[in-house]
Amino acid sequence: MLTLAAKSETLLLNVEIKDMTRECVDKTVAMLGEFGLKERAVIACFDAATKSAHPEMRLQGFPGRYMTNFTEETYGCMFGMGIPVSWGGCTDKQVAADVAFAKSRGILAWLFCADTPESVYRCIAHGCDNITGNNPSVALHIFREMGKHE
């Protein structure tokens, strides 16, 4: 997969770290470096300590209530903020507040778990900068219908 990604000059990788051990993060960053992808990758992790371990990497964090090792300074390190739209308790009011907060700090609002047409439309309505989901064909179909993707 990284060999294929390295062939593209414009692809931005969002690499989510599930195993939040220092060893996993170190190996992931080293592998990205081996393929020349560090400058085109964003590390998504629920552990705020990831940024201090690898300050050269862009970080996708999350609202502080979801992160471990979080401090207010964590927001200053974020390139993007992952904001859930389909988790329990993700009301439109909460999503709107998180998007506004991220944008007020110059952080890209990346809404995630857009796995249904309803959740994709919800992301669009909230003015997100990026949408992620487990099945991109759902969002691609909607964007094609809207004339925003070929």
Kindly report, residue by residue over 29-42, the tens digit of the pLDDT: 999 999 999 999 99
- Rounded to a whole number, what is the distance in angstroms from the first to the last CA of the chain? 23
Give tens-digit pLDDT for 51-75: 888 889 999 999 999 999 999 999 9
Query: Positive or negative, the Cα torsion across 84, 86, 87, 89?
Result: positive
Cα–Cα distance for residue pair 50/69, rounded to 1 Å:
9
Cβ(81)–Cβ(62) under 8 Å? Answer: yes
- Give bridge partners of residue 60 from the DSSP assignment: 44, 80
Q: Using an 8 Å Cβ cutoff, are 87 and 114 in contact?
A: no
Ranges of each domain in the chain: 2-145
**pTM of the entire predicted model:** 0.89
Q: Is the pLDDT of residue 149 over 90?
A: no
Task: Judge whether residue 150 has pLDDT over 80.
Answer: no
At residue 148 the predicted structure's pLDDT band, cuts being 50, 70 and 90, is: confident
* 123: helix, strand or coil: helix
Cβ atoms 15, 32 nearer than 8 A: yes
Confidence of residue 87 (pLDDT cuts 50, 70, 90): confident
Dist CA 131 CA 127 (whole Å): 10
Helix ranges (DSSP H) in 35-135: 49-53, 92-104, 117-125
CA separation for the pair 125, 53 (Å, rounded): 35
The Cα 1–Cα 41 span in angstroms is 13
Tens of pLDDT along 3-15? 999 999 888 999 9
Could you tell me if 125 and 87 are in contact, meaning their C-beta atoms sit under 8 angstroms apart?
no
CATH H-level superfamily of 2-145: Phosphatidylinositol (PI) phosphodiesterase (3.20.20.190)
d(CA 7, CA 45): 25
Residue-wise pLDDT for 110-147, tens only, equals: 999 999 999 999 999 999 999 999 998 999 999 999 99
Residue range 11-29: mean pLDDT, rounded: 90
pLDDT at 97 over 80: yes
